[in-house]
Chain A
Amino acid sequence: MPDQGPSWDVVADVQLLLQFHFMQNALLAGTMVAMLAGVAGYFVVLRGQSFAAHMLSQVGFPGAAAGVLIHASPVLGLIVFCAGAALGLGALGREVDAGHRLESAAIGSILAFSLGLGFLFVRLYGGSAQGIYAFLFGTILGITDRDVQLTFAVALATIAVLAAIGRPLMFASVDPDVAVARGVPVRMLSLAFLLILALSVAITVQIVGTLLIFALLVAPAASALQLTARPGRGIALSIVLSLVFTWLGLALAYFTNVPVGFFITTLAFAFYVAVRLVTAPGAVMAPA
């Protein structure tokens, strides 16, 4: 880690941050990841699919472990496993009921199985626990140039797809019955969004880890939705919050040697709690 701590000279601090190649990679990947997580997260919260996002992030654990086990890239393993789980959920859940009972049951089943599989892979791998630790809690050290390229490609492609399907997806999310009657392919969009979510999770895991992914995928969007009910502003705010948490988290981790996942989750959580306190002051006092 750096020889000097941060000062109040922001320019000098940024120079310090960027002096190592691994940190440049972490910031580049982190920026792309935060932007994608901000947009995808908005739809996750709007559709009530936080649990699905949770499941996909947990599936990332055996995915990454499998990638390491067969000496391929962990990110590739993540993408394959998360996409597989998304398709499985699409098949086991049902159209029009995103966030509801059948989907929850399917998620729970896939979730437990994936964790079991993850432990098996870790056992088979038998290597150092350090790599596994990184999947679970994220790291800023292990992001290679290839990871950065893959992250860029995946993030740009997914953001482009989200921009293209955003309006019908919002229609299908808030009012599926009317959307069907208006000719929106609700079921196809539901599956497409799960796949986008799977890709978002797969590349986000590198930074914050499978256990802490909610910090970027749910908390910024949940805060944004509390602050504005305008979709355009909500998505923009979600992206900004996600970026700020990621940059601050990376900088703090760099200067303190405390894991980055801790800082990003703490920032996101603290902001969310503050927003809830500010937007609903009565809720804290009210008896029920």
Chain B
Amino acid sequence: MRISQPVQASQSYTSALAFEHAAARLGGRPIWSEVDLEVAPGEFVAILGPNGAGKSTLLKALLGVVPLAEGSVSVFGRAVRRGTDEIGYLPQRRRFDPDLRIRAADLIRLGLDGERWGLSLPSQAKANRVAEMVELVGATAYEDRPIGELSGGEQQRILIAQALVSGARMLALDEPLESLDLNNQQAISELIRGICRTRGVTVLLVAHDINPILPFIDRVVYVAGGHVLSGKPQDVIRTETLTALYGTPVEVLHTSDGRLVVVGQYEPVTHHPDDH
């Protein structure tokens, strides 16, 4: 039983996201192909894989920023188009410039009507909507401070609020945990799962390191070797599967309390005496 189905669940679509025989190319170079992937509404999906495998391209394809070379992709039953309100996007990024003197609340507001032409008139409804998001991500203490002065974790919270403010039913998050310390990785992961569960928002989260998010996700999608593989964490995260995907030895360990830990997947082999 799913208690937090979005209200729109009775509409004709059954999947939040559906890639069908999709292929993407960047500058003529094939990135991935023959991708068939379905994500159900309200699912929390981690997208994993080696650097350069096309994880970010997968997100950009569903945002309509990178057009598909073959196949199709639909979001909530409709073909994708750039600029949709239904998807909140958090791009892979460095931190904001420390000198950027724009209030955090103004940055969230840009997510609401930043793409509109013409003068911005004061609107109580819009201000309330921004305040609601500030509260949701727990940013009340620093919403009036310039975004550049905030810590990495605080900036991520503001960006999640910005991604949600226009009423998005799907979050496309590109490495939101990158460059955060362990506590913040944990806190942001919990915040995202909370939003996923209580609001029925479908979450696609690209991650470099699987360990911090493993306890929170419903499903993993691996992008590697030009293909995409998806499944339940316990089915996909296995020593044999990951070693084959990455083409380098990866070991999956089981801790005494039943958790999985993935070891060795990103360390390049610099010295291997048995190798020739």
Contacts and interface: CB of A to CB of B under 8 A. Distances in A.
Interface residues of B, number: 34
Given A167-B113, A168-B114, A183 B82 contact: yes
B181 interface: no
Nearest to B118: A164
A274 B116 CA distance: 37
A9 to B, nearest CB: 40
Contacts of A164: 117-119
A166 interface: yes
Interface in A143-189: 163-168, 170-171, 174-175, 177-184
Given A183-B82, A231-B106, A165 B89 contact: no
Contact of A168 (B87, B89, B117, B163): B117
B115 A179 contact: yes
Listed residue (B63, B96, B101, B107) with the most chain A CB atoms within 10 angstroms of its CB? B101
B120 interface: yes
A229 B145 contact: yes
A171 B116 CA distance: 10
Interface string B96-119: 110011110011001101111111
Nearest to A227: B101
Contact of A229 (B60, B91, B101): B101
B115 A182 contact: yes
A182 B60 CA distance: 12
A171 B165 CA distance: 15
Interface residues of A, number: 27
A181 B91 contact: yes
Interface in A21-60: 46, 48
A85 B163 CA distance: 37
Contacts, number: 89
B118 A167 contact: yes
A252 to B, nearest CB: 30
B118 A181 contact: no
B114 A167 contact: yes
Given A230-B106, A231-B102, A166 B119 contact: yes
Contacts of B96: 174
Contacts of A229: 101-103, 106, 144-146
A167 B116 contact: yes
A163 B121 CA distance: 12
B17 to A, nearest CB: 15
Interface in A221-235: 225-226, 229-232, 234
24 contacts: A46-B100, A163-B118, A164-B119, A166-B119, A167-B114, A167-B116, A171-B110, A171-B115, A174-B102, A174-B107, A175-B162, A177-B93, A178-B91, A178-B111, A179-B115, A180-B65, A181-B65, A181-B87, A181-B91, A182-B115, A226-B101, A229-B101, A229-B146, A232-B120
Given A171-B114, A174-B100, A182-B111, 9 more contacts: A48-B97, A166-B119, A170-B114, A180-B65, A181-B60, A184-B114, A231-B102, A232-B120, A234-B101
Closest CB pairs A-B (n = 10): A183-B83, A171-B114, A177-B91, A229-B146, A181-B89, A229-B103, A229-B101, A225-B101, A182-B115, A171-B110
Interface of A: 46, 48, 163-168, 170-171, 174-175, 177-184, 225-226, 229-232, 234
